[in-house]
Amino acid sequence: MFELFIRNLIHKLTDWLVIFLGVVFILWFAFTAPIFSWSQTKQASTDISLVVLKSHVSALIHDFAPRTIEYGNLNITAHYIYDQLKRFGSVKYQPYSTLGGRFSNVELELGPDTKEVFVIGAHYDAENDSLDVDGNASGIATLIELAHQLSKSESKLPIRVILVAYPLSQGYSAIRENMGSYNHAKSLLKENKKVRLMVSLDGVGSFNDEEKSQKYPYKFLSYIYPTKGNYIGVVARLQDYEKVRAMKKSFVSASPLPVYSFNVPERFELTSSQDHLNYQRLGFPAVLVTDTAKYRDKKPHIEDIVDRLDYEKISMLIKGLYQVVMDSKAPNRETEMIVDQRYGRNSPLN
């Protein structure tokens, strides 16, 4: 009798263990959107200058600092970005006014004139005036060089690509109506554009190959993700799961840089980044690409942030993002007609 009891107990415990492990696996799969690729990395035709990348970062951190709303450097920073992007195509300012003054997004469009677009953005303001912080100089440098690479393949682009730099994303100036990203997303909605995906670049140059150099805001994440801060992170909503998996597949096919994704509920905050959220709030799929530097130890014995960033890995990021865009499917004409009908008369901004 006792043996029968033990046997039944073991069977029940085994059943519950299997169910528990199944639930854990499902949550892990949904949270991390893993991809399994054994193919070799493509040899991308991109020729990225690490010296040029570093020169952009140095200019943004040293020549235009402090890039905060309190100082008059945001508009001259916008002029610098404009001058860099105009070499690759028709660039324009998108001005707007706030109580703090008049500011501008800087926007470059490449590729065919499709109503469905692929958006890549980065903010150019910094949270404070310290020279020891990236202030997203790495994101802007990535945006500029990615524009360069895409412009060389413009005739092959399958979809309209919009590259845009924003002001007012940091600190107390990051009130939604003041933010450049919100005003840009609102303009896309007003123009009846459909966004295939929006990618926000926010701090993408801090990497560390040392063990335990990567921290997380929640302890349990350290059991799921690497303890070395040598990867790039993609933060997305659960509903954008398939888009993230497709993005990662394209990325790893062209870049050796490790990439991990965090597919989380909308209110589950891993970073303080806001730009991608503004697109999500208006109904567009959007992801954040970040080095999670806030949770990543600095490289030892290097004081200047310009020297501390890893330009080799930034170039790997650019190659991966380039492939993500090039692998995008061309928009369907029938889909674009549906978008016209859906957002034309019924747009909340009309």
- Residue 217's pLDDT band (cuts 50, 70, 90): confident
- Reduced to 3 states, what is the DSSP secondary structure of residue 162? strand
CA distance linking residue 328 with residue 315, whole number of Å:
20
Rounded (5°) CA angle 275-277-283: 125
CA distances to 22, 132, 296 from 96, in Å: 51, 30, 35
CB atoms within 10 A of CB 246: 17
The parent domain of residue 188 ranges over 49-343
- Short-list 310, 117, 306, CA closest to 206: 310
Structure tokens at 185: 């997303």
Q: For residue 34, is it within any domain?
A: no
Q: For residue 17, is it within any domain?
A: no
pTM of the model: 0.86
Q: 305 and 134 in contact (C-beta within 8 Å)? A: yes
Biggest CA–CA distance in the chain, Å, is: 85
Q: For residue 350, is it within any domain?
A: no
Q: For residue 29, is it within any domain?
A: no
Q: For residue 32, is it within any domain?
A: no
Which amino acid is it at 339?
V
Q: For residue 338, is it within any domain?
A: yes
Q: What's the number of domains the chain is made of? A: 1
Tell me the percentage of the chain whose pLDDT exceeds 70: 76
- Short-list 68, 269, 105, 270, CA closest to 184: 105
239-260: pLDDT as tens digits: 898 999 999 999 999 999 999 9
- Short-list 255, 277, 124, CA closest to 198: 277
Beta strands in 156-275 (DSSP E): 160-166, 194-201, 232-237, 259-264
Q: 29 and 259 in contact (C-beta within 8 Å)? A: no
CA distance linking residue 222 with residue 2, whole number of Å:
42
Predicted pLDDT at 101: 85
Q: 127 and 135 in contact (C-beta within 8 Å)? A: yes
Tell me the CATH number at 187: 3.40.630.10
Q: For residue 36, is it within any domain?
A: no
Q: For residue 37, is it within any domain?
A: no
- Short-list 172, 240, 229, 230, CA closest to 200: 240
Predicted pLDDT at 344: 42
Which amino acid is it at 259?
V
294-338: pLDDT as tens digits: 888 777 666 688 999 999 999 999 999 999 999 998 877 544 544
CA distance linking residue 207 with residue 311, whole number of Å:
10
Predicted pLDDT at 252: 95
- Residue 14's pLDDT band (cuts 50, 70, 90): low
